[in-house]
Amino acid sequence: AVLVAAKRARQLNSYYRALGEGSYEEFTPPMVDTPSGNYLTIALEEFASGKIDYHYRA
């Protein structure tokens, strides 16, 4: 779960960086409302609320 949240935090970082540059079509915005500005905290809140799902490859 920690690796999933870390990957999502990197995606959120890319989203906000692209948003500042005016191009954000390829990134998914945050899926939870939170006052936090920390990308890892946002990712963990998304995971805790069930917005992020993951499956292990066999």
Confirm whether pTM is higher than 0.75: yes
> Domain residues of the chain, as ranges?
2-48
Q: What is the C-alpha to C-alpha distance for residues 38 and 34, in angstroms, rounded to an integer?
A: 10
Q: What is the arithmetic mean of pLDDT over 21-36?
A: 88
User: What pLDDT is attached to residue 24?
Assistant: 66
Residue-wise over 19-43: b if at least 16 C-beta within 10 A, else e? eeeeeeeeeeebeeeeeeeebbebb
Q: What is the arithmetic mean of pLDDT over 16-33?
A: 87
User: What pLDDT is attached to residue 55?
Assistant: 85
